[in-house]
């Protein structure tokens, strides 16, 4: 939710009709919101909402969608937003593992260290 851009990177921006918030709110089925990559048949994208506020995400809704994704796919990757806003916190909450991408700058490394601390404290495994 917020600065969605994976659809652009994957060349799927014109195929986004429904998004994660639509699935959570029940206005779309998961199968309607998933976009299959044109190059790799087994890669799907569930777009974040570009227009809705991050408060539209509920912990219960995200938990349900992730559980449904886990029942269908071998791997589920959540590309969470930078920082520690609600979307990132919800992604952390349900993470089995995390990859933190950072820049070699002092402020970025410090922020990444903070994210690691939050991951340790906020995941369901903690």
The CATH code of the domain that includes 110 is: 3.40.50.300
Residue 83 placed within a domain: yes
Residue 1 placed within a domain: no
35/81 Cα distance (integer angstroms): 20
Q: Is 17 helix (H, G, I), strand (E, B) or coil?
A: coil
**Given pLDDT bands bounded at 50, 70 and 90, which one contains residue 106?**
very high
User: C-alpha angle 119/48/59, rounded to 5°?
Assistant: 50
| pTM of the entire predicted model | 0.78
Mean pLDDT rounded to a whole number for the chain: 84
Paired residues of 36 in beta bridges? 44
Q: What tens digit of pLDDT does each residue of 109-125 get? A: 998 898 888 888 866 55
Exposure string for 24-35, b = 16+ CB within 10 A, e = fewer:
beeebebeebbb
Range of the domain at 113: 6-122
**Given pLDDT bands bounded at 50, 70 and 90, which one contains residue 126?**
very low
| Number of structural domains found in the chain | 1
Q: What tens digit of pLDDT does each residue of 8-45 get? A: 677 777 788 899 999 999 999 999 999 999 999 999 99
Residue 87 placed within a domain: yes
How many residues does the structure list for the chain?
Answer: 126
Q: What tens digit of pLDDT does each residue of 50-70 get? A: 766 667 788 899 999 999 999
Residue 75 placed within a domain: yes
> 77: which residues sit within 8 A by CB, 6+ positions away?
none
């Amino acid at each position: 939710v917020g600065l969605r851009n994976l659809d652009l990177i994957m060349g799927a921006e014109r195929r986004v009709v429904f998004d994660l918030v639509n699935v959570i709110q029940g206005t779309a089925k998961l199968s309607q919101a998933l976009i299959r990559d044109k190059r790799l048949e087994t890669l799907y994208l569930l777009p974040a909402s570009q227009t809705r506020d991050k408060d539209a995400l509920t912990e219960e809704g995200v938990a349900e969608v992730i559980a449904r994704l886990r029942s269908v796919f071998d791997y589920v990757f959540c590309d969470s937003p930078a920082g520690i806003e609600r979307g990132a916190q919800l992604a952390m909450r349900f993470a089995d593992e995390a990859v933190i991408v950072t820049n070699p700058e002092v402020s970025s490394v410090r922020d990444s260290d903070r994210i690691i601390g939050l991951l340790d404290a906020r995941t369901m495994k903690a």
